[in-house]
Structure 1
Amino acid sequence: MQLWSLNGNTQQLDGGAMFGNAPKAMWSRWIEPDASNRIPLACRCLLAKDLDGRNVLFETGIGAFFEPALRERYGVVESQHVLLESLASLGLSHEDIDVVVLSHLHFDHAGGLLAAWEEGKPPQLLFPHARFLVGAQHWQRAWKPHPRDRASFIPELQHLLQDSGRLELVAGEYSQTLGRAVRFSFSDGHTPGLMLSEVAGVVFCADLIPGRSWVHLPITMGYDRYPEALIDEKRVFLEDKFARNVRLFFTHDHACALARVTRDERGRYGTTDEQPELRGIV
């Protein structure tokens, strides 16, 4: 089994929104904003190649499903479906993926499930041979979102996943599809039922910890539903990964895919052994 980081479409979003109540004087030292106050963000996916004989993709990024006006509004840089290009670089297509694991269904994590936008065509679900794994609690949230995060969901996506006949809702540590190969845990601070996946000593942090800067406990996003709960969840999460030497995989960090957790004498968490990409590590 090998782990690969795959680039999806990138975004440029407002730095203030991404760092919540942290002042710009602080966060601009970590990620330099452009003239419009936007910072670069990855939508990075994790591929477990030959995991018990299957290709398992953790998330699909934002993809290219937005029409041009919305692509501009949400700061999507590329018009083509970058994840499909990343798969092709490994000699794979979306048809070769056996399982897609989704931490949650916000468009910047699940939009890559859809084909690139074409005028006059309805949304088309890719990955025709894959089973789709979604947290059971979050699935309910996606059907009945709060006004606060309704715009983060793709209305057609839940119907397409349900109608595929290949959807599994995960409620515990392990799924029927992947068995003991992938261990799941759940978080509510960013969105109810966010599903975190651990495979071969690597954990997909999703939006609990979008990148290195958010490893600091007080730092949350303006997009988080329950920031105080998220901080408490993050503390427990990081302590566990530090104790077990589990590496962190970041989806939104524009320059770092993987890192190890550190903790100083004052109990502050940080990262070390930072890697910009994974290229087939076992």
Structure 2
Amino acid sequence: MNRSISTLSSGSRTLDGGVMFGATPRKDWAALIKPDHENLVQLPSRALLVQQGDKNILVLAGTDALLAPLPRTCRCQKHTHGLLDSLARHGLGEHDIHAVVLTHLQALVSAELRHAIEDGDTPRLLFPTARYLTGRRHWLRALRPHPRDRALFISPILGQLQVSERLELLDETSEDVLGSGWRFHFSDGHTPGQLLPEIDLPGGCVVFAGDLIPGTHWLSLDAGSGFDRNPECLADEKERLLDHLVAKRGRLVLARDPAVAMIKVMRDRKARYAPYDQYARLRSFDN
């Protein structure tokens, strides 16, 4: 089957740098991404478009980008470029997407969007004819979240997914739900049941790393974030996944890295994981 991948921008998110980089000292992470005077950093939200045969499949890290943009209330408001704009540059619209893989269901939304949700004006879900796929265990977690991450699950989004009648829940035994050449890794360290797709290309496999490894900084096994629910489990999962990619000479797509979209991974002389063969963006990549 002919298959190619492209990276898409689904906007950006502003986060507290100390939370995003966890136990990493500020002087180290601030050298990577300069914070503002309130210690906030801006990270991209990168989606993956997989085109195979006549099908278009999106992979999203979280549900932020799944919501339609808020309408502008006046012409003076600046247009915020998002996922639909990125799709349009590929000649695609909402109805051209056949499936959306959601690695997890957490959402970090803007203050404006949160106010709209709290006022009962939650935007509709994008892609009205697509199947929505996510992990079964993670879905159960989202319905009954722990107090530590309850605020990251937005009930109106879950409600829209549930009533869509297009939600499919996957587990470790799910096979061929998107055709041959797709496999799924499950991760519990960042959030229980996170779903990480592995996709075969002619030149080797590609794994969308979601929030298990959001950027090159997090290749280090001891690097995490304040959002991680089980840091020790996360380190073990990273090591297994990275060893798998090293052995298969596979690639890793990064959802949050400000400069790098895809890498290969090797182990250096000190057995540390290091990126190489880096791509800043992808368009119809099929090697």
Normalising by structure 1, report the TM-score.
0.88
Partner of 2:131: 131
Structure 1 unaligned segments of length 5 or more: list them.
69-77
Structure 1: how far apart are the matches of 2:206 and 2:215? 14
Letter in structure 2 aligned against 1:34: D
Partner of 1:72: none
Instruction: Classify 1:67/1:100 alpha carbon distance in 2 versus 1 (closer, same or farther; 3 Å).
Output: closer
CA offsets per residue over residues 106-135 of structure 1, 9 Å max, x none?
1149x9xx9xx6987443122111011110
Structure 1: how far apart are the matches of 2:69 and 2:124? 12
| 1:104 maps to 2:104 | yes
Is the CA contact (8 Å cut-off) linking 2:176 and 2:182 kept in structure 1? no
Instruction: Classify 1:27/1:106 alpha carbon distance in 2 versus 1 (closer, same or farther; 3 Å).
Output: same
Is the CA contact (8 Å cut-off) linking 1:100 and 1:132 kept in structure 2? yes
Identical-residue share of aligned pairs (%): 43
Is the CA contact (8 Å cut-off) linking 2:189 and 2:228 kept in structure 1? yes
In angstroms, what is the RMSD of aligned CA positions? 2.4
Structure 1: how far apart are the matches of 2:182 and 2:191? 21
Structure 2: how far apart are the matches of 1:107 and 1:182? 25
Is the CA contact (8 Å cut-off) linking 1:56 and 1:97 kept in structure 2? yes
Structure 1: how far apart are the matches of 2:132 and 2:248? 28
Structure 2: how far apart are the matches of 1:254 and 1:122? 28
Is the CA contact (8 Å cut-off) linking 1:213 and 1:219 kept in structure 2? yes
Structure 2: how far apart are the matches of 1:101 and 1:175? 14
Letter in structure 1 aligned against 2:59: F
Is the CA contact (8 Å cut-off) linking 2:210 and 2:255 kept in structure 1? yes
Which runs of structure 2 are paired with 1:1-282 in the superposition (5 Å)? 1-49=3-51, 51-59=52-60, 62-63=64-65, 80=80, 82-108=82-108, 121-172=121-172, 174-175=174-175, 177-200=177-200, 201-282=205-286
Structure 1: how far apart are the matches of 2:122 and 2:219? 39
Structure 2 unaligned segments of length 5 or more: list them.
72-77
Structure 2: how far apart are the matches of 1:100 and 1:208? 19
CA drift of 1:92 comes to 0.6
CA drift of 1:34 comes to 2.2
The SS at the match of 1:9 is strand
Structure 2: how far apart are the matches of 1:90 and 1:191? 32
CA drift of 1:79 comes to 6.4
Letter in structure 2 aligned against 1:55: N
The SS at the match of 2:11 is coil
Structure 2: how far apart are the matches of 1:260 and 1:139? 31
Is the CA contact (8 Å cut-off) linking 1:103 and 1:134 kept in structure 2? yes
